[in-house]
Amino acid sequence: IESVSTIQVTHNGKENQILNGAPDWVYEEEVFSSNEAIWWSPTGKYLAYAEFNDTEVHTIEYSLYGNGQYPSTVVVPYPKAGSTNPKAKLFVVDTINPSRRTQVVVPDSIGAGDHYLSSVTWVTDERIAVQWTKRKQNHVLLQIYDFDGNNWNEIQVLKYFYVPLQPMFAEDHISFYKVMSDTYGYKHIHHVKDGKATPITSGKWEVIYISKLTKDAIYYVSNEYQGKPGQRNLYKVTIGSSHSAPQCLTCGLYKDRCQYNSAYFSYDASYYRMDCYELLVLRDNRDLEDILKEFQMPTMQRGTLRVAGFDLWYQMMLPPNFQKNKKYPLLIDVYGGPCSQKADYRYRLNWGSYLSSTEGIIVASFDGRGSGYQGDKIMHSIYQRLGTFEVEDQITAIRKFIDMGFIDTERIAIWGWSYGGYVTSMALGAGSGVFKCGIAVAPVAKWEYYDSVYTERYMSKPEENADSYKNSTVTSRAKNFKSVDYLLVHGTADDNVHFQQSAQISKALVVQQVDFEAMWYTDRDHGLGGPAYHHLYTHMSQFLQKCLVKPKVI
């Protein structure tokens, strides 16, 4: 085998200042969802890569305590809301002559101000499609470039509302298919040709993503089936001179057990692997059934609640042997962030299953205003006003759960992680009187403390939306925590939602003389992995035991 030598392509990289082919923190977390920023052309002749300049980006510093005599300090460039952002450029290298590098220049209409490189898609070796967006992120510009041997020239441009999914190019190498909002505010596949976008799918449901495009068909995942936004199924539409009606490929497969599907295709789409989040019986052992009867599982109830003029979905884990004439404690498991979804048909065996089956707690989730996959009108309800309707709707849902007749009004709790920790804290601080206790893991306290890309996408800059930033803080609600039991949890090495956030909540609670519980995890990041993960769930279980299962008698 002939040995291959490596060739250095870039020479200006500098730690925490210039990064080539690898995104900085905010691009990795909020834009690419990847630790790579390189894209090979179809034949491998060219390599596109992004350069990130973080020279002017403010840094966050936190301690790693380790086991040494002195802790070390971690420094990460991290742009917060309203602060200076990294600058991204896109270059293409000729792999035959690596010293030959050309820049794919951002269009003037975008490049005149702060902007983001959103996605890169090779069409052919000499054609590349790039999505750019202004810092405000309310529109995306898809620019197609052709290479003339020396420069990448702009040949076609399309502007549309912000939908970050990449285009899928047809065989003509100029028209493409893309998921974007239709005129009714639902995400659907559009065929874009000569600058005109023609919808391929339609209805009061949404396409989640395109799985595969061939010369004859589009395969995609949507939540159309049975009008239930929490389901996922694989569909096929044939293409050509006209487009066929969608054909569902998974709706009839194991429909009693399998209602949340995805698919991964072979290169030529001759085969695909279907994945389903389901409960699968590997062996039907009747002798084992008698033993398992003592480990009874909860049952899932799903439905809609009429809130603020919308029919919004919930799911409930009901304890074994559930009886409607009994009163049960209730735990709300919340996330609540923009375009999120908790009430779905994915099979789970998790902490909530344990609480419901072993402790007799009803565990419920509700997708209020701001949640996704039900149309833009619901999702955009919290645009420019985070911390409002997504919090209010959780409280409204609880009151509707109480009206069902089987909730113990003296034993209601809420918990969440990250954005869910924020919603938990905002709900507890609302002074509604419905909660006995709550748990917030790694919560946001103030949106000024979170990263610019995510925060400004929904709230704009602080100076452009000052009142909403001011009214959306957990710290301003500190005095209302006197009437609830509160457990605040955070990792000291969280590079995403910084420990600063919980520190500010703690400080505000102390100022108001609020008694609360706190648990920090030394040197653990946002995911609280390793031994901390088991410790966390043990600690939260004990907290809920005191609050919901065996409350103190006063």
DSSP three-state, residue 493: coil
Q: Is the dihedral of CA 457, 462, 468, 472 positive or negative?
A: positive
Q: Is the dihedral of CA 523, 526, 530, 535 positive or negative?
A: positive
Q: Is 526 a catalytic residue?
A: yes
Q: Is 139 a catalytic residue?
A: no
Strand partners, 274: 263
Contact assessment for residue 375 and residue 337, using Cβ atoms and an 8 Å cutoff: no
Tell me the CA end-to-end span of the chain in Å, nearest whole number. Answer: 79
Q: How many angstroms separate the CA atoms of 259 and 230, rounded?
A: 9
Give me the numbers of helices (H) and strands (E) for the chain, helices first please. Answer: 11, 29
Q: What are the backbone dihedrals phi and psi of residue 348, each rounded to the nearest 5 degrees, phi first?
A: -135, 145
- Among candidate residues 418, 452, 460, 472, the one labeled active-site is 418
Strand partners, 238: 217
SS3 string, 5-56, reads CCCCCCCCCECCCEEECCCCHHHHHHHHCCCCCEEECCCCCEEEEEEEECCC
Token pair, residue 237, equals 């539409």
Residue 359 parent element (H or E) = helix 351-359
Q: How many angstroms separate the CA atoms of 370 and 360, rounded?
A: 30
Contact assessment for residue 429 and residue 480, using Cβ atoms and an 8 Å cutoff: yes
Contact assessment for residue 222 and residue 206, using Cβ atoms and an 8 Å cutoff: yes
- Among candidate residues 118, 425, 494, 498, the one labeled active-site is 494
Token pair, residue 270, equals 């001759």
Q: How many angstroms separate the CA atoms of 468 and 457, rounded?
A: 14
The residues carrying an active-site annotation are: 418, 494, 526
